[in-house]
A = this chain, B = another copy of it.
């Protein structure tokens, strides 16, 4: 079993490589090789016994995809993308990387399929940004994709391509619409959605965090551990049970900011909660108003995808995975 991870230097990509290393197998077969690709050189996961190939490639170069699949990996996790904010600021770059890059990959696989019958599993990370306001709550599985960002548009287009290439038998694809990842490890960043993680992660280590929106803001979350779990399950699942609608809204936890804060109080006490500074930001409040409050995700749940069921659990996952298990 040879696995290719594209976007392996990102947060989810790194955690995925670690998980694959720990599991040692995928689809019931031993993992003997991993190719870790990203625009910068990714780190090899600690403790992996098989062959690791590190590829620093730009997927928006037409030749990159052919090079990545030359060794015919059995499973391809495609996580590479430029983020929402950057795709919105740089229209051409967003389409070049998030749309053309993905299309080059799909085309390279199709041509290999025609040439020698190659037919890998392709697990594609999509996003809840494929939907756009006004949104019902919860959002049904059959709700249309009317994104309000170029990033969301690019993800929605790649979902359509993935389904069509899969329907034609060029590869076995599945699209995983990730919730917002919370608690995102690392430093606070400038993403408009960063505060959902900041207000938990920083207080848990005694640091202040800024909350720019009201406590009634409702959003859709899953832990990094769940996100990796979705991808692994997407690689293992029998696609006959999925049928032709290959893009699935993943399960997650719908919670208000107030509910996040209550969970923080239960897990880490009043002292932690006091580190959250309320500094309303009109622009972030306006952006937030268009975000998904939560999905039904009935299909994905029925197919065995599992997420956290409380914010206490999301916080505990962070403490276990990022803080060595203790506060």
Bound Cα distance from A278 to B9, whole angstroms: 62
Kindly list chain B residues whose C-beta atoms are within 8 Å of the C-beta of A153: 160-161, 163-164
Interface size on A, residues (CB 8 A): 23
Kindly list chain B residues whose C-beta atoms are within 8 Å of the C-beta of A161: 153, 157
Bound Cα distance from A244 to B150, whole angstroms: 13
Given known contacts A132-B244, A157-B157, A164 and B144 CB-to-CB distance under 8 angstroms = no
Kindly list chain B residues whose C-beta atoms are within 8 Å of the C-beta of A145: 144-145, 160
Which residue from B91, B110, B132, B244 sits with its C-beta under 8 Å from A146?
A: B244
CB distance from A79 to the nearest CB of B (A): 21
Kindly list chain B residues whose C-beta atoms are within 8 Å of the C-beta of A142: 143-144
In A236-253, which residues have CB < 8 Å from any B CB? 244-245
CB distance from A62 to the nearest CB of B (A): 14
Which residue from B141, B143, B168 sits with its C-beta under 8 Å from A150?
A: B168
Q: Are B244 and A148 in contact (CB under 8 A)?
A: yes
Instruction: Decide yes or no whether A300 CB sits under 8 A from chain B.
Output: no
In A122-162, which residues have CB < 8 Å from any B CB? 132, 141-148, 150, 153, 156-157, 160-161
Q: Are B91 and A168 in contact (CB under 8 A)?
A: yes
Bound Cα distance from A245 to B223, whole angstroms: 31
Instruction: Decide yes or no whether A167 CB sits under 8 A from chain B.
Output: yes
Nearest-CB residue, chain B, relative to A94 = B164
Kindly list chain B residues whose C-beta atoms are within 8 Å of the C-beta of A144: 141-145
Bound Cα distance from A168 to B152, whole angstroms: 13
Kindly list chain B residues whose C-beta atoms are within 8 Å of the C-beta of A91: 110, 168
Kindly list chain B residues whose C-beta atoms are within 8 Å of the C-beta of A167: 148
Which residue from B110, B143, B157, B245 sits with its C-beta under 8 Å from A160?
A: B157
Task: Kindly name the residue among A147, A150, A153 whose own CB sees the greatest number of chain B CB atoms within 10 A.
Answer: A153
Nearest-CB residue, chain B, relative to A142 = B144
Nearest-CB residue, chain B, relative to A162 = B153
CB distance from A286 to the nearest CB of B (A): 15
Contact with B along A211-232 (1 / 0, CB 8 A): 0000000000000000000000
| A binding-site residues for B, Cβ under 8 Å | 91, 110, 132, 141-148, 150, 153, 156-157, 160-161, 163-164, 167-168, 244-245
Can you spell out 16 A-B residue pairs with CB atoms less than 8 angstroms apart? A91-B168, A141-B144, A142-B143, A143-B144, A144-B145, A145-B145, A147-B160, A147-B163, A148-B167, A148-B244, A150-B168, A153-B160, A153-B163, A157-B157, A157-B161, A160-B160
